[in-house]
């Protein structure tokens, strides 16, 4: 009889496949940050095998984790873009028609046309009328006669909820606060085409500079503005500090003088 310690044990099963990792999170900001961090780490690991596509995904995910981290500590970051309203001759997609769009134009639409417009562009009637009444310049894009996009531009001092303050515009300046492209029209250069059309409209009204604030994780919007000859000039960091007395702070980095003037801030 052979002793037990003399019997060779069979080898344990092995696999090159990575083990499945399970994480359970709550609904707090810290939990959201942990989920985002986990997603970034998985994308970074995947980049080792497919460095091209996975690396691009990891960069986009990193922007999200930074935004989530700043949100968790009461901080938001926006990119401030400035355009001198030059045009680059962007070629619009075939069938794209862009034109100014006033409240009177909206009221002339049939019930069916209005419902289609509201649904396609996720448009709220009360919001739209409020912006028309304050004098916003609005343009509408149609792709093969279907609503494709809309852009809103303020001509006077405008309140920015994301910063809790008003922007101070000169008479020769404007602020583009909403650019929306219908889901079925995305990826066809609709947004850059609208921005270039808007540049010509504003110059015809003696406006020679325009501003826009874009979320740090909104890569698609940043690319659209850059294609339309806008340049990022500063990061606007909004701190929400809560203690015995609630206080908010806006920081401009780098401290661009025109950006500071726009935000009503002194030289930092």
Cα–Cα distance for residue pair 167/188, rounded to 1 Å: 31
**Greater pLDDT, 34 or 261:** 261
If DSSP codes are grouped into helix, strand and coil, which group holds residue 251?
Answer: strand
pLDDT tens, 228-252?
A: 999 999 999 988 765 544 457 899 9
What is the largest distance, in Å, between two alpha-carbon atoms of the chain? 103
* pLDDT tops 80 at residue 21: no
> In the prediction, which pLDDT does 26 show?
38
pLDDT tens, 65-122?
A: 555 444 444 678 999 999 999 888 999 999 999 999 999 999 999 999 999 999 999 9
pLDDT band at 8 (very low <50, low <70, confident <90, very high): low
Peptide bond into 197 cis (omega under 30): no
pLDDT band at 161 (very low <50, low <70, confident <90, very high): confident
**Greater pLDDT, 130 or 51:** 130
If DSSP codes are grouped into helix, strand and coil, which group holds residue 31?
Answer: helix
Q: Residues 30, 72: contact at Cβ < 8 Å? A: yes
> In the prediction, which pLDDT does 75 show?
77
* pLDDT tops 50 at residue 39: yes
Cα–Cα distance for residue pair 98/209, rounded to 1 Å: 21
Cα–Cα distance for residue pair 31/115, rounded to 1 Å: 39
> In the prediction, which pLDDT does 234 show?
97
How is 48-77 classified by DSSP, letter by letter?
Answer: TTSHHHHHHHHHHHHHHHHHHHHHHTTEEE
What mean pLDDT, rounded, does the chain reach?
80
Residue among 155, 131, 151, 153 at smallest CA distance from 141: 151
> In the prediction, which pLDDT does 17 show?
39
Cα–Cα distance for residue pair 200/151, rounded to 1 Å: 14
* pLDDT tops 70 at residue 210: yes
User: Token pair of 23, please?
Assistant: 């994480």
Within 8 A by CB and 6+ apart from 31, the residues are 25
pLDDT tens, 9-19?
A: 555 444 443 33
List the alpha helices (DSSP H) in 134-233: 190-204, 219-227
* % of the chain exceeding 90 in pLDDT: 60
User: Token pair of 115, please?
Assistant: 């419902």
pLDDT band at 51 (very low <50, low <70, confident <90, very high): low
> In the prediction, which pLDDT does 99 show?
97
> In the prediction, which pLDDT does 28 show?
43
* pLDDT tops 80 at residue 25: no
Strands (E) in the chain, as ranges, are 75-83, 96-100, 137-143, 146-154, 158-160, 165-167, 173-181, 209-215, 230-241, 247-253
> In the prediction, which pLDDT does 175 show?
97
Cα–Cα distance for residue pair 80/98, rounded to 1 Å: 26
Q: Residues 189, 217: contact at Cβ < 8 Å? A: no
Q: In the predicted model, what is the mean pLDDT of residues 131-148? A: 96
Cα–Cα distance for residue pair 230/211, rounded to 1 Å: 9
């Amino acid at each position: 009889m052979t002793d037990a310690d003399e019997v060779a044990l069979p080898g344990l099963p092995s696999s090159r496949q990575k083990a499945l990792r399970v994480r359970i999170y709550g609904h707090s900001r810290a939990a959201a940050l942990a989920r985002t961090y986990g997603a970034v780490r998985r994308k970074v690991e995947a980049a080792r095998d497919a460095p091209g596509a996975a690396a691009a995904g990891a960069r986009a995910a990193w922007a999200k984790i930074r935004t989530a981290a700043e949100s968790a500590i009461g901080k938001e970051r926006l990119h401030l873009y400035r355009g001198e309203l030059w045009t680059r001759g962007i070629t619009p997609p075939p069938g794209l028609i862009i034109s100014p769009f006033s409240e009177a134009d909206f009221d002339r639409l049939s019930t069916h046309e209005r419902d289609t417009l509201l649904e396609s562009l996720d448009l709220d009637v009360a919001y739209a009328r409020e912006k028309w009444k304050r004098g916003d310049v609005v343009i509408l894009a149609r792709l093969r006669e279907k609503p494709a996009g809309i852009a809103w531009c303020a001509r006077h001092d405008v309140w920015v909820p994301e910063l809790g303050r008003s922007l101070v515009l000169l008479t020769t300046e404007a602020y583009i606060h909403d650019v929306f492209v219908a889901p079925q029209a995305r990826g066809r250069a609709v947004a850059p085409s609208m921005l270039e059309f808007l540049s010509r409209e504003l110059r015809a009204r003696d406006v020679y500079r325009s501003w826009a604030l874009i979320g740090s994780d909104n890569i698609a919007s940043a690319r659209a503005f850059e294609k339309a000859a806008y340049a990022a000039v500063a990061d606007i960091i909004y701190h929400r500090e809560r203690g015995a007395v609630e206080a908010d702070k806006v920081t401009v980095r780098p401290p661009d003088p025109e950006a500071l003037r726009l935000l009503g801030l002194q030289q930092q």
